[in-house]
Structures are given as C-alpha cells and as structure tokens.
Structure 1
Amino acid sequence: MAARAESNGSAFDTAKLVVAIALLIAGVVGFYYFSNEALFYRVLGVVGLSIAATAIAVTTNIGKTFLGFLKEARVEVRKVVWPTRQETMQTTLVVVALVFLVGIILWLLDMVLFWGISLLTGQGK
C-alpha cells in the first residue's frame, strides 16, 4: 500500500513538472507570437509564467530537494573566508609573473630546439 501511494505521488510530481515545463514553453511561444505587442508586456508575460512554473515545480519532491540544496550551498558560501583585496592583487601579480616567466622559458626552448633541428638537417644559414 505504501509503495502504491509513493508511486501516485511520483506520478503527480511528474504531472506537475510537465505542467511547469508547458508553462515555460507557453511563455516563450507567447513572447514570439505576440511580437506586435509592446516588449514590456511580452517580458511581463514570460516572467509571470516563469514564476508560476517555478512555484509549481518547487512543490514536487525534486523541487524540494533542489531548494534544500540551494539552502545548504548558501550556508557553505557563508563559511568561505574570502581573500582581501591585497591578497587578491598579490596572487594575481604572482600568476602574471609566472605566466610571463614560463612564456620566456618556452620561447627559449623553442629557439634551442629550432637551432638544433636546423643543424641536424643542414637547413641552417
């Protein structure tokens, strides 16, 4: 009996998700169908249908799980120790300097290999 109730809830959730997707599609189609109307009203219609679709999707098990995930992610972002402006600038300068240094090393390596290949093949000056 419990499995039957669970499958009905799942089927109902699937129906809700289908309705939510249909609302989103209707919003996009309506946006282009009413192309002769003012842009403000068309955007308002798309936003309204998107909010309605989101409200319907959030009531499903998948939507509730996704909302829980977003709340947990927000908590984790608050735990992050963000670098100061000075630390960011110092790190950026170190990265730029190392990229420049590696570029010079690769350029020199390329010159040496080109010189060696030219000597071996006899195509040098």
Structure 2
Amino acid sequence: MKKDSNLLSKVSIPVAGIVALASLIGFQAYAEESIAFRSIVLFGGVGIAVAIILLSPSGRQFIVFFREAIQEVKRVVWPTKKETLQTVLIVFAFVLVVAIFLWVADKFYEWFLYSIVLGWK
C-alpha cells in the first residue's frame, strides 16, 4: 500500500503539470475564440490540475498541514494596540540612538583622520 501511495504521489504532480500546461496551450491555440471561452479553458485546466494535486497523498498532507496552521494562528495571542505602539516607539528610539552614535563615530573618525593623521583642514 505504501508503494502504491508513493507511486501515486510521484505520478500525480507531473500529470497535474501536464494538465495545466495543456490548458495554457489550449488558451493560446484558441486565439480566435472569445476571451470568455479561452478563460474557461485556462481556469478549468488549472482547476483540474489543482484538484489532482490536492487529491494526491502529498496534497492531502498539505491540506492537513494547512488546517493545523490555521488552528495554530487562532491560538496565537496577538499584541494589543498599546503594546504594538510601545514596541514600535522603542524600535524607533533605538534606531535613532544608533544613528546618532554612528554619526558621532563618523565625525570623530573624519576629524581624527583628516586633522590629526593627515594634517588637512
């Protein structure tokens, strides 16, 4: 059973790719038809390809993973507006302090290099 599932998983992805590619080729091949018909061909083929992938064993694993991820997001305790604002202000303050430090360090190195070492200015 495991071998059949593995084979199905290996075969379903390329088959889905072929179906999607065929729908794209069909979209281009029917250039003289209306855009509505061509769009139905394209989106129908892509929909079938997505269905093939989702019905494969790896697609089912993805669906389970996606559902668990949604449950995990629901369990997250999101910060309040006040906490978010405080964190943003702390980050801005830290960036400002680092920017001032780098500016002072740059001016010190400029003064040291040009005035003391090279004797310019």
TM-score of Structure 1 vs Structure 2, range by shorter chain: 0.7 to 0.9
Q: Which of 5, 15, 22 is equivalent to 1:19?
A: 15
Shift of 1:34: 4.2
Residue 120 of structure 1: aligned partner:
117
Unaligned 5+ residue runs, structure 1?
Answer: none
Give the aligned CA root-mean-square deviation in angstroms: 2.2
- Structure 1 segment 69-88 matched on structure 2, within 5 A: 69-88=65-84
**Mapped partners of 2:47, 2:94: distance in 1:** 48
Is the 2:27–2:39 Cα contact (8 Å) retained in structure 1? yes
Matched, 1:48 2:44: yes
Residue 103 of structure 1: aligned partner:
99
- Deviates further, 46-55 or 71-80: 46-55
Shift of 1:41: 4.3
Instruction: Go from structure 1 to structure 2 and tell me whether the alpha carbon gap of 1:60 and 1:116 turns closer, same or farther (over 3 Å shift).
Output: same
The share of aligned pairs that are identical, in percent, is: 32
Unaligned 5+ residue runs, structure 2?
Answer: none
Instruction: Go from structure 1 to structure 2 and tell me whether the alpha carbon gap of 1:39 and 1:94 turns closer, same or farther (over 3 Å shift).
Output: farther
Is the 2:8–2:57 Cα contact (8 Å) retained in structure 1? no
TM-score between the two structures when normalised by the length of structure 2: 0.81
- Deviates further, 76-85 or 13-22: 13-22
TM-score between the two structures when normalised by the length of structure 1: 0.79
